[in-house]
Each structure stands twice: as structure tokens, then as C-alpha cells.
Amino acid sequence: MSEWKAASMRNRSYECYFQRIHERDEVRPLSSTFVRVRGNERGDIVEIRAKIVGPQTDAQGRLAPAVLRIFEIIVKQACWRDFEDALASIQSLRNVEYEQFGAYLSFTREAGSENSFNFILGLKATSSSQVRTKAYFSADSWLATTKPRIPQTLSSSTASSHPQPPLALNDGVSSGHNSRSIWNCG
């Protein structure tokens, strides 16, 4: 994975990416995986895109578990449970598109290519009320507090002895932690 850095000199958008070429000929990759994550300087993610070319499949034509795992982690970390249903279509390499609550997910076969697929998971504020809500709750609009408040229902010993794990490091499976717990999606 590359480092999180500005996409270009005059751009406020940041990104990182991962690419692995599994097999190639003299001209182009025959089998590859590419993932790009875009967001802002603070690390807020706005969009995740992936492209898989010539993915490994099983005898029934379903996506190999190792490749499907990429999409499972992305969808589960996004905490949009409505999109988890899309994983069955992705595994079967069928086109699927969802758009709900200002977020969208798309997995489609690339036009003109039998064995290339594009994936997008992103935020999209399209209606005027969504745009206003996004602007109102923007961290840029509020002053940072110098003393974060801890709810009175938690004692200081409870809060310090049970720190919340960082979401980016917990995919819910590798750690043995329940992926539907309050630590991941509230």
C-alpha cells in the first residue's frame, strides 16, 4: 500500500493505492488487482475504487475467496449493512449497484472486456438537504475542543482499561473480533 498523500500539488484530495500484478504478457497484465482510496488530509475517506482483471474463480465461476475478501473488508469497514447483500453478486461476478442515504456501491463488468471488473464505494451528497447536512456537520465548521468529554456513565478506570480499537486495523475476522460489534459500526 502506498502512503496517504496529496493526489497532486494543488489538490486538496488525498489518496493511497495498492496494486498487484499476478500474471502479465508482453503488452499488459492478464491478471491484476488495483485498489485506490481517496479522501482528505484528515484521513476521511470519500471513495474507494478497485479494478480486478482476470480474477481467480472456482469451478462454478465464483470469485476466489482471497479476492472476495478485499470487498468483504471494504464493505464491512464502511459500516453500511445495506450493502452487505451486494457481496453475493460480487462473488458471482454479477453487476450490482446500490445507492442509499448518500452512499453508493457499484460492481460492474468493464464494457468491452469479458474478464475485467470495476468496484466503487463512495459518498455522494446529491440532494440539497444532503449537501447542507454534510456542510453543517463538517469538522471544518466547528472549533476543536481542548478537553474531550467522557460520558459520566463511564468511570475513568473503565474508559482507560477498555480502549476502543482503531477501525482501520480491525477487519472483524483476522482479530477474532465480532465484525458487527459496537466497536465497528455502532
Residue-wise pLDDT tens digits, 45-73: 889 999 999 998 988 999 999 899 999 99
157 in a structural domain:
no
How would you list the strands of the sheet with 103-109, edge to edge? 5-6, 14-24, 29-39, 45-53, 116-123, 103-109, 96-100
What is the pLDDT, as a whole number, of residue 158? 45
pLDDT at 99 over 50: yes
Q: What is the pTM of this model?
A: 0.66
pLDDT at 25 over 60: yes
What one-character-per-residue DSSP string does 128-143 give?
A: HHHHHHHHHT-GGGSP
9 in a structural domain:
yes
Q: Please tell me the total count of domains within the chain.
A: 1
39 in a structural domain:
yes
30 in a structural domain:
yes
175 in a structural domain:
yes
To which residue does cell 499476478 refer?
A: 22
Considering only 78-82, 143-147, 167-171, which range has the smallest mean pLDDT? 167-171
pLDDT tens track for 114-149: 889 999 998 876 667 666 666 666 666 666 566 656
156 in a structural domain:
no
Q: Structural domain of residue 22, as residue ranges?
A: 5-126+163-185
Distance CA 74, CA 107 (A): 13
31 in a structural domain:
yes
Q: Which of 48, 114, 112 is nearest to 80 (CA)?
A: 48
49 in a structural domain:
yes
What one-character-per-residue DSSP string does the chain give?
A: ----EESSTT---EEEEEEEEEEE-SSSEEEEEEEEEEE-TT--EEEEEEEEES--B-TTSPBPHHHHHHHHHHHHHHT-GGGGGHHHHHHTT--EEEEETTEEEEEEEPTT-SSEEEEEEEE---SHHHHHHHHHT-GGGSPPPSS----TTS-HHHHHHSPPPPGGG--SSTT---TTSHHHH-
